[in-house]
C-alpha cells in the first residue's frame, strides 16, 4: 500500500504493482474467455526531473504504460501516484479528426477549463512551433501523420505540463521537425526540470537523450536503472533472440504469451 502520499513528493510517478488487463478474442469463438495482462506487477519510482527511456520489443506494453502514465487509460490493479500535470505526445492520440487544428486547441482548452486568453496563448504557441500555416484551419483528417504529430507535439508543449510522455511521436516527423523537437525537449530536461518519459525504438537516440532506462518485456518491468546499462542488456536480449532458430523463436513467443494469459472458467 502506498501509505502517506506526502512521503512521495520528490517523485513524479510512483507505481506499485500496477496491472492492465485486456480481454482477448479467441479464434473461432464468438466470446473469448481469455484475459491478457498487457502489464503485470509494475513497480517503480521516478524522481521529478528524470528523463526515462522506455524500451521493449513490440507488444511488450510500452504504449499501454504510456497511456496509464498520462491518465488516459485506467489500470486494473495496483496503485499509482502522479505528482504534476501530464501530457501524452503520441501518433494519432488526443486529436479529434473531424475538427480543425484550431478547434482541437479550443476543445483541449475547454476540457481543461482554460480561459479564452489562455487558449489564445496556446494557439500562438502552436502557430509558432508547428509551422502548419493555413492547415491549422483545416480538419485534422486532412493532415498527414507528420502534420498530426506537429500539432499534437505543439499543443502539449504550449500546455506546459510537468510530465511529458513521448510515445514514438517523433518517428513520423520530418528530420527538421524531429531535430527541433529534440532540441526543445533537451531544454525541458536541462533548464525547465520537466520529467520526461521517452519511448522509441531508436536506441541510440534513447541512449543519448535519457538518463534512466526502463525495460518493459512481456508486460513486466524487466530492468530499471542507468540508461547505458539497460540499453546494453536490452540489446543483448534482442541479439540473443535473433540468433534463435524460427522454431525456438516461436517457442519463446508462445511461452511469453502463455505467461500473460489469465485462465478463467467459462
Ligand X SMILES: Nc1ncnc2c1ncn2[C@@H]1O[C@H](COP(=O)(O)OP(=O)(O)OP(=O)(O)O)[C@@H](O)[C@H]1O
Cβ proximity to ligand X, 67 vs 105, nearer residue: 67
Residue 197 belongs to what H/E stretch?
Answer: strand 195-199
Which range touches ligand X (CB under 6 A), out of 4-12, 55-63, 79-87, 190-198? 55-63
Residue 253: CB minimum distance to ligand X, A: 11
Cβ proximity to ligand X, 66 vs 104, nearer residue: 66
- In this chain, which of 15, 40, 52, 62 binds ligand X, going by CB under 6 A? 62
Cα–Cα distance for residue pair 127/19, rounded to 1 Å: 39
Residue 134: CB minimum distance to ligand X, A: 33
218 scored as a contact of ligand X (CB under 6 A): no
- In this chain, which of 49, 59, 71, 139 binds ligand X, going by CB under 6 A? 59
186 Cβ contact list (under 8 Å, min separation 6): 209
Query: Longest Cα pair distance anywhere in the chain, in angstroms?
Result: 61
Q: Is 146 exposed, middle or buried (0-12, 13-18, 19+ CB in 10 A)?
A: middle
Q: Is 65 helix (H, G, I), strand (E, B) or coil?
A: helix
Residue 61: CB minimum distance to ligand X, A: 4
Q: Is 37 exposed, middle or buried (0-12, 13-18, 19+ CB in 10 A)?
A: buried
Cβ proximity to ligand X, 59 vs 125, nearer residue: 59
Contacts of ligand X in 19-48 (CB under 6 A): 22, 38
Q: Which residues bind ligand X (CB under 6 A)?
A: 22, 38, 56, 58-64
Amino acid at each position: 500500500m502506498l501509505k502517506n502520499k506526502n512521503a512521495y513528493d520528490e517523485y513524479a510517478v510512483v507505481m506499485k504493482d500496477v496491472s492492465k488487463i485486456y480481454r482477448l478474442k479467441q479464434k473461432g469463438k464468438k466470446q473469448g474467455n481469455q484475459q491478457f495482462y498487457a502489464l503485470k506487477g509494475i513497480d517503480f519510482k521516478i524522481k521529478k526531473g528524470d528523463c526515462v527511456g522506455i524500451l521493449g520489443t513490440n507488444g511488450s506494453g510500452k504504449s499501454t504504460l504510456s497511456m496509464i502514465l498520462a491518465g488516459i487509460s485506467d489500470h486494473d490493479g495496483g496503485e499509482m501516484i502522479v505528482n504534476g500535470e501530464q501530457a501524452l505526445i503520441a501518433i494519432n492520440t488526443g486529436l479529434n479528426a473531424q475538427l480543425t487544428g484550431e478547434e482541437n486547441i479550443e476543445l483541449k482548452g475547454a476540457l481543461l477549463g482554460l480561459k479564452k486568453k489562455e487558449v489564445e496563448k496556446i494557439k500562438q504557441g502552436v502557430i509558432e512551433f508547428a509551422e502548419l500555416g493555413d492547415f491549422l484551419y483545416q480538419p485534422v483528417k486532412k493532415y498527414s501523420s507528420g502534420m498530426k504529430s506537429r500539432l499534437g507535439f505543439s499543443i502539449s508543449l504550449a500546455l506546459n505540463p510537468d510530465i511529458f510522455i513521448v510515445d514514438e511521436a517523433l518517428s513520423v516527423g520530418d528530420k527538421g521537425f524531429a531535430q527541433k523537437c529534440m532540441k526543445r525537449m533537451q531544454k525541458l530536461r536541462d533548464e525547465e526540470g520537466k520529467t520526461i518519459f521517452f519511448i522509441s525504438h531508436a536506441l541510440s537516440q534513447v541512449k543519448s537523450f535519457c538518463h534512466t532506462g526502463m525495460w518493459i518485456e512481456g508486460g513486466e518491468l524487466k530492468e530499471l536503472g542507468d540508461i547505458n546499462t539497460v540499453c546494453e542488456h536490452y540489446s543483448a536480449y534482442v541479439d540473443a533472440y535473433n540468433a534463435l532458430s524460427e522454431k525456438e523463436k516461436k517457442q519463446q513467443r508462445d511461452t511469453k504469451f502463455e505467461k500473460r494469459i489469465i485462465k478463467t472458467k467459462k
